[in-house]
Copies of this chain bind each other. A is one copy, B any other.
């Protein structure tokens, strides 16, 4: 892929820090050889690791800082005291136009707070959302919000629908993405006031996709929708529940394979096929929490992910930048907000307080 882009990397975040970031960037270069990198962090620690990756070294600048945001830092503290941190400097690079996007596997709350403060929201957008692509039994689906906003009003959810639909269109190439709103039933009268009003608005306005109504938890993996909209609390619980069930399934499968000589023999015979499934559902290939709605592209890599996961987060950020995601969002949000049928009643505003 010819992605002629510069990616700012926070090298000091996540459980593996430099040891995931540097090999991850090198791995990303293998499929996107035109990328360039600005690597922010402790130069004394970055240089020795970078020396082992000559391809990457030739395409990367290291910008030294000995400050880093820790996982324990509260967002407000990170904002105040982290002005020279690797995370903040990497975001600043996007703001200053020196990089096209930023990737960090650091503290999510701090990253969101800094990204919001430095990059600001796109015109017309009230709040950014965290979005991720998830596997289904059909084509992938993008789910948002996954944790940026505990409580959402109708306007926010409607904007999230547009953000998700633009992603499905410009990055995944789906002409008319199917947009669903997560609820506890598909009937019109299900759920609280905000969800019902959101459905009403989405069914009236012109969208860069097709509103298909309410969807339920099991629709996430059914592939019923290309975009699933929810508040950040519910989305976060659903995402983590899904991760937990996937791990449990794997746990029981492994145990079954070890439970008898026949099963072990069977496992060996089926090894290649299983490896393929494992790759199809491997969370590392779905890694990359996209902070959508900001005037600048910022992707959060899972804190626990290794270099393969980090390379995927780089790919996600590069795709957003390459496809001009933000320009398209700005256009679609302007279209949305100018439609007369898009109105928010007082009731919804009260509900979201």
Q: Which residues of A line the B interface, CB within 8 A? A: 74, 135-137, 147, 150-151, 182, 184, 189, 191-192, 216-222, 230, 232-234, 236-249, 251-253, 255-257, 259-260, 262-263, 265-274, 276-277, 280-281
Contact = CB atoms under 8 A, between A and B. Distances in A.
B137 A184 contact: no
25 contacts: A135-B248, A136-B248, A137-B247, A137-B251, A150-B184, A184-B233, A191-B233, A192-B233, A217-B240, A217-B242, A218-B243, A233-B234, A234-B237, A242-B244, A252-B277, A256-B273, A256-B276, A257-B273, A259-B276, A260-B272, A262-B272, A263-B270, A265-B270, A266-B268, A269-B269
A252 B281 contact: yes
A247 B136 CA distance: 10
B184 A237 contact: yes
A249 B246 CA distance: 7
A217 B237 contact: yes
Given A263-B269, A265-B269, A273-B256, A242 B245 contact: yes
Contact of A241 (B192, B220, B253, B273): B220
Contact of A259 (B238, B239, B273): B273
A182 B237 contact: yes
A194 to B, nearest CB: 11
A94 B276 CA distance: 53
A220 B237 CA distance: 10
